[in-house]
Amino acid sequence: MNPKCASTFCGLVLMACLAAVPAQGQQMPHGHAMGHASSGVPALPGQDAFGAIQEVVRILEADPATDWSKVNLERLRQHLIDMNEVTLRASVKAEFVPGGLRMDITGTGRTEQAIRNMVGPHAHELNQMKEWTATTETIPGGLRLMVVTKDQADAKTVARIRGLGFIGLLVQRGHHQPH
């Protein structure tokens, strides 16, 4: 995939994921009409990845400039699977180090592959932030991610890194939005 397509793809992934968030936060009504939308049609697609892809398709179809020869929804589906694997199935062993945090992110099978697919690129994005540096190294079953502050005396940033932990660091910088 060329860089422009990759950028567009990443942007669509993020838009799809963000579009699903408000719907997930809504609570179902309880009582006699429980589970029935007022229009008689369910509002949610029944599965979050399906809903994300549905939203991307809606966005693409609404844009007359969409170049369908560059659309790869299967790649989006695979990325959503990676996101799910890393978020829900990866094991993270975090350890405080001077200036930040070292995290061993591991898994087996599909989860290990998802870790390798996602953590390295996200570490690159983290490394673009002015407050800290991020590095990765391969370990059995996954990757080690090290994030430390550039200013060892900056206790606030050290606390932020440690407080965010693996998943909080993974979502930093909103790097999908500019695409």
Confidence of residue 38 (pLDDT cuts 50, 70, 90): low
The per-residue pLDDT for 174 is: 62
Nearest to 108 by CA among 78, 87, 85, 77: 85
Nearest to 95 by CA among 148, 45, 30, 152: 148
DSSP β-ladder status, 142-149 and 91-97: unpaired
DSSP β-ladder status, 91-97 and 132-139: unpaired
User: Rounded CA gap, 126 and 107, in Å?
Assistant: 22
**Does residue 9 have a pLDDT over 70?**
no
> How much is the pTM?
0.71
**Which residues neighbour 53 within 8 Å (Cβ) at sequence distance 6 or greater?**
16, 73, 76, 77, 80
The per-residue pLDDT for 18 is: 40
> Is the Cα torsion angle 165, 167, 170, 175 positive or negative in sign?
negative
**Percent of the chain beyond pLDDT 90?**
67
Query: Any idea what DSSP says for residue 108?
Result: S
- pLDDT tens-digit series, residues 122-138: 999 999 999 999 999 99
**SS3 state at 153:** coil
The per-residue pLDDT for 173 is: 72
**Which residues neighbour 164 within 8 Å (Cβ) at sequence distance 6 or greater?**
172
Is the pLDDT higher at 125 or at 40? Answer: 125
**Does residue 62 have a pLDDT over 70?**
yes
**Does residue 16 have a pLDDT over 70?**
no
| C-beta of residue 106 within 8 angstroms of C-beta of residue 140 | yes
Q: What is the mean pLDDT of the chain?
A: 82
At 150, which amino acid appears? Answer: K
The per-residue pLDDT for 25 is: 42
